[in-house]
Structure 1
Amino acid sequence: MSRERPRRGTLPPAQENIEKLRKVVEEGNSYGAQQMYKSISARYVSAQRYSEALDILHSGACIQLEHGQVICGAELAVLFVEALVKGKVPYDVEILDRAREIYERFPKVPMALNLAEDDDDDIKQLSEAMGEAKTRVEGCSSFLKAAIKWSAEFGAPKNGSPELNVMLAEYIYSESPEVDIARVSYYFVRGNNPQKFASVLVNFMSKCYPGEDDLAIARAILMYLSLSNLRDANQLFDEIKKQVENQRRDFVESDLIQYITYLLETLERDALPLFNMLKAKYKSSLDRDPVFYELLDDVAEKFYGVRRRNPLQGMQMQGMFGEIFKMMGEMQ
């Protein structure tokens, strides 16, 4: 402690460094400023002046991103979260707002603007645009994943801040050159905005390959249910139908969607036999995506207390009794 106090006294107020570093970035020396942001903030962290370290890193991340320096900005954003962890800063609205301010400065560039004629120059430009998009997504994802982990450890729900999860889902969907809707759904179901999730799914349905639309809807619903969230599963399903209707489009019809409709109704009551019967009856639809069975095992455990089987045992049982279950379903 005796060696720490003089060290703290040698550090000026953070605002002095913030103004100085801002000028360095504005003069075009982003790399030089980056090294200074890292070294100066580290001194404040070492002196346990976490609040000032956070001010410096937050300002640096925002300024670098505003100047299009995604890699530099993302690195400082991650260091901002690391300072939160080192300072054991609790999750609250103020910190969430600061994280949102950083997130909102990550560039958003519609890929459609980069599509042009099929000549060599345009192909090169498209390739570069896709590379830049990948860099943006990786940078923003690194920051938000770290922030979600911090939030879960310091006061947010066990799956992390719902707001941060929605931010990550939105950015992955809007900026990824090739959308992985399952990955997007993973974060949305840990969020708190089924309406926004519905908008993303409706948008995805308008441009996905035939047969992917009902898979995306079913996967999203089952992901919610695997987290015991029947309320948001119903809200998502209703909102998708509403938005499709408002766009004067036909809602997708398939056996899989019919299964989801019946499943949501079944989970409103204590009806494990009906749950199992539906699973058997719609086996051919569920077979379209093996992850459905994993999710349904979670649903059975959460809603009906059914203990999960060993995966190998489950595969063996499915092989032995699959045809019997099918026959039972057809008899209903």
Structure 2
Amino acid sequence: MVISLSSLKPAEMSSKRGGTSRVLVKLKKSVEEGKYYEAHQMYRTLYFRYMSQKKHAEAIELLYSGATLLLEHEQYGSGADLSILLAEVFQTSKAAVEDENIEKVAKLFQLIPQQIPERQTFLANSLRWAQQMKPPQTYISEIHRHVGIVLWKEKNFSGATHHLLRSNDGDSCGAMLVESHTQRGLASEVDLFVAQTVLQFLCFNNKSTASVTFYAYTANHPAIMSGPPFVLPLLNFLWLLLIAVDSGKLTVFTVLCEVYHPSLQRDPSYNVYLDKIGQVFFGVTPPPEPNGPPGMLGSLMRSFMGVEEESPEEPPPLTTEEVD
């Protein structure tokens, strides 16, 4: 069955939900009969018509239904194309960043395979939509949480960490890190896997999620039998640091770093993170940097805060590995 505009009755093109539903039924039948190209073109044609009439709710329903259906039929290019259009409608219409719409983003992100380049474009457009809201970070964090969980299920632990670090879901982050270490890490790295993430959360002034992540990891990792206090010095440092940030006492922070200096030398990046933590929680004056924070931490902070490095419209820059 080939769908054409002339085959759709005026009632089916109305703004009423019943009319939209009848259109979707016809398009679904076309897809199920294998008329993928015709269906894709009709979804796009109807999308442009709805947008010209400012029927944003109908456009959202049309695109989400079509993208889901095409992706489920392994028409990944067409499905991703409609997904990208959906994110654009969210932006144009200033649709509410509510659970229902965020779940649409998460579902389509999950359905688009990792190897499809448009997956990153869809995510970037979805984050731009969330950035329009006030305050934007609340909504951006929720999208990152859903995406992080999708990547975790795909065993993409690096990408999952990237996104969960930008969320407020410490329980999921801790559980993901446990799975990541037990499946990919060395026995000697049990403390390293959680240390970097906890320090990064603190650099973002997100002490509550840092704490939840730390305790979720240490309580559930099979190789960590007791604590606090812990057998591993680096875990003790993190435990005491989380307590110290509440006090804001620079002397306590300085002593902690001195006492645990040998453990902190295991990863050169820790010194960079601790410099930032000193500034955020203990009033340490940052060194003069006219062009903003340098190096790795500067890039990380710009990414987290949504500062664009390559494109004025691009949300937190993501590599292919981080997104896929």
- Please report the TM-score for the alignment, with normalisation by the length of structure 2: 0.72
The answer to whether residue 23 in structure 2 is matched with residue 17 in structure 1 is: yes
Query: In structure 2, what is the Cα distance between the partners aligned to 1:259 and 1:139?
Result: 42
Q: Which residue of 1 aligns with 2:97?
A: 91
The answer to whether residue 270 in structure 2 is matched with residue 292 in structure 1 is: yes
Equivalent pair of 2:148/2:160 in contact (CA under 8 Å): yes
The answer to whether residue 236 in structure 2 is matched with residue 236 in structure 1 is: no
Equivalent pair of 1:152/1:159 in contact (CA under 8 Å): no
Q: Which residue of 2 aligns with 1:198?
A: 174
CA 1:82–1:208 in structure 2 vs 1: closer, same or farther (change >3 Å)? same
Query: In structure 1, what is the Cα distance between the partners aligned to 2:166 and 2:197?
Result: 11
Q: Which residue of 1 aligns with 2:192?
A: 215
The answer to whether residue 4 in structure 2 is matched with residue 28 in structure 1 is: no
Q: Which residue of 1 aligns with 2:81?
A: 75
Query: In structure 2, what is the Cα distance between the partners aligned to 1:142 and 1:290?
Result: 33
The answer to whether residue 217 in structure 2 is matched with residue 224 in structure 1 is: no
Query: In structure 1, what is the Cα distance between the partners aligned to 2:12 and 2:67?
Result: 25
The worse-fitting range, judged by mean Cα deviation, of 86-95 and 215-224 is: 86-95
Alignment gaps of 5+ in structure 1: 1-7, 108-132, 316-332
Q: Of the candidates 247, 254, 258, which is equivalent to residue 269 of structure 1?
A: 247
Q: 1:34 Cα shift?
A: 2.2
Q: Of the candidates 150, 153, 164, which is equivalent to residue 171 of structure 1?
A: 150
Q: Which residue of 2 aligns with 1:110?
A: none
Whose radius of gyration is greater, 1 or 2? 1
The answer to whether residue 128 in structure 2 is matched with residue 152 in structure 1 is: no
Q: Which residue of 1 aligns with 2:115?
A: 135
Q: Which residue of 2 aligns with 1:330?
A: none
What is the CA deviation profile of residues 284-312 of structure 1, one whole-angstrom value per residue up to 9, with x for unaligned ones? 54444444344333322321233432469
What is the CA deviation profile of residues 237-276 of structure 1, one whole-angstrom value per residue up to 9, with x for unaligned ones? 11112212xx476479544333222211211212112223
Matched letter for residue 68 of structure 1: E
Q: 1:195 Cα shift?
A: 1.5
Q: Of the candidates 63, 67, 75, which is equivalent to residue 61 of structure 1?
A: 67
Q: Of the candidates 171, 177, 184, which is equivalent to residue 160 of structure 2?
A: 184
CA 1:259–1:64 in structure 2 vs 1: closer, same or farther (change >3 Å)? same
Q: Which residue of 1 aligns with 2:309?
A: none
CA 1:296–1:69 in structure 2 vs 1: closer, same or farther (change >3 Å)? farther
Matches within 5 A, 1:312-327: none
Equivalent pair of 2:106/2:147 in contact (CA under 8 Å): no
What is the CA deviation profile of residues 22-42 of structure 1, one whole-angstrom value per residue up to 9, with x for unaligned ones? 122111232332232223212
Equivalent pair of 1:159/1:190 in contact (CA under 8 Å): no
CA 1:206–1:40 in structure 2 vs 1: closer, same or farther (change >3 Å)? same
CA 1:47–1:294 in structure 2 vs 1: closer, same or farther (change >3 Å)? farther
% identical equivalent positions: 25
Q: Which residue of 2 aligns with 1:113?
A: none
Query: In structure 1, what is the Cα distance between the partners aligned to 2:190 and 2:37?
Result: 44
Between the two proteins, the alignment pairs up a number of residues equal to: 276
Equivalent pair of 2:131/2:139 in contact (CA under 8 Å): yes
Equivalent pair of 1:70/1:139 in contact (CA under 8 Å): no
Alignment gaps of 5+ in structure 2: 1-9, 295-324
Query: In structure 1, what is the Cα distance between the partners aligned to 2:284 and 2:40?
Result: 53
Matched letter for residue 135 of structure 1: Q
Structure 1 segments, 4+ long, off by >6 Å, are: none
**CA RMSD in angstroms, aligned pairs only:** 3.3
Matched letter for residue 202 of structure 2: L
The worse-fitting range, judged by mean Cα deviation, of 229-238 and 29-38 is: 29-38
The worse-fitting range, judged by mean Cα deviation, of 271-280 and 78-87 is: 271-280
Q: 1:226 Cα shift?
A: 1.6
Q: 1:159 Cα shift?
A: 5.7
Query: In structure 2, what is the Cα distance between the partners aligned to 1:167 and 1:205?
Result: 21
The answer to whether residue 58 in structure 2 is matched with residue 42 in structure 1 is: no
Equivalent pair of 2:80/2:122 in contact (CA under 8 Å): yes
Q: Of the candidates 238, 262, 276, which is equivalent to residue 260 of structure 1?
A: 238
